């Protein structure tokens, strides 16, 4: 068994424009000043409640709840209108095909919702690639290891047979706490130094380099 579990946003896809737009609407809905775009990119990967607490620490819990609802509404509206920007990173489709053909079982562990992840995979023709899909609907936020532990269980893999691939320190910490190898990618939201400090054994500069590393 070889199990490769991928983060989604910032690793498989580039959704930062849609994330920032939805976050602006969430803050506007409760009449808070719009957040800094860099700060928003920093929280990608966390569950929405935890992200709101980090971005608006002075707001009350009920305000955070309203912000979460407004963010979800913004995403649903954009999805229905066909306006979401969630492009697959160049080379990622080839990487996934090569790993699957090379005998790897694939999974996803993401702070996105199940509905959001299902839409992303379907829109890029990737729905049949993954044996296990773990989302924020059913687990604590990263870096808690619950999502990765569930992926291992569902794929019937041992921690030593798996690797977590992601673009944030949250992904690396989750892998470390689950006893799984951690590999960072250098095209997402946290820089290579942060990923290594959080436990990455290596940081891939491109999807092609990651393919060669895993299939060596």
**Rounded Cα gap, residues 28 and 2, in angstroms:** 45
Instruction: Please give the full DSSP string across 69-133, using - where no structure is assigned.
Output: HHHHHHHHHHHHTT----EEPTTHHHHHHHHHHTT-EEEEE-SS-HHHHHHHHHHTT-TTS-SEE
Concerning whether 7 is annotated as a catalytic residue, the answer is yes
Concerning whether 9 is annotated as a catalytic residue, the answer is yes
Instruction: Single out the catalytic residue among 9, 14, 167, 171.
Output: 9
Preceding amide of 59 cis, omega within 30: no
Residue 175 to residues 56, 80, 110, Cα–Cα distance (Å): 27, 34, 13
Sign of CA dihedral 93, 95, 99, 101: positive
Q: Which residues are catalytic?
A: 7, 9
């Amino acid at each position: 068994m070889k199990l490769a579990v991928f983060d989604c946003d910032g690793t498989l896809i580039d959704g930062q424009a849609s994330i920032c737009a939805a976050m602006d609407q969430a803050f506007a809905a409760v009449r808070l000043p719009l957040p800094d775009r860099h700060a928003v990119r920093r929280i990608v990967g966390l569950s929405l409640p935890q992200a709101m607490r980090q971005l608006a620490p002075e707001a009350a819990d009920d305000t955070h709840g309203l912000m979460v609802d407004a963010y979800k509404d913004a995403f649903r509206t954009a999805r229905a209108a066909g306006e979401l920007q969630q492009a697959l990173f160049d080379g990622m489709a080839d990487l996934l095909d090569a790993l699957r053909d090379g005998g790897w079982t694939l999974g996803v562990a993401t702070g996105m919702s199940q509905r959001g992840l299902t839409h992303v995979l379907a829109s890029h023709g990737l729905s049949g690639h993954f044996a296990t899909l773990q989302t924020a609907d059913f687990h604590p936020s990263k870096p808690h290891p619950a999502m990765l532990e569930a992926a291992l269980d569902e794929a019937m893999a041992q921690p030593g047979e798996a690797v977590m691939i992601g673009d944030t320190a949250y992904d690396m910490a989750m892998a470390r706490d689950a006893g799984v190898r951690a590999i960072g990618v250098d095209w997402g939201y946290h820089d290579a130094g942060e990923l290594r400090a959080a436990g990455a054994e290596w940081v891939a500069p491109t999807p092609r380099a990651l393919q060669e590393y895993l299939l060596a």
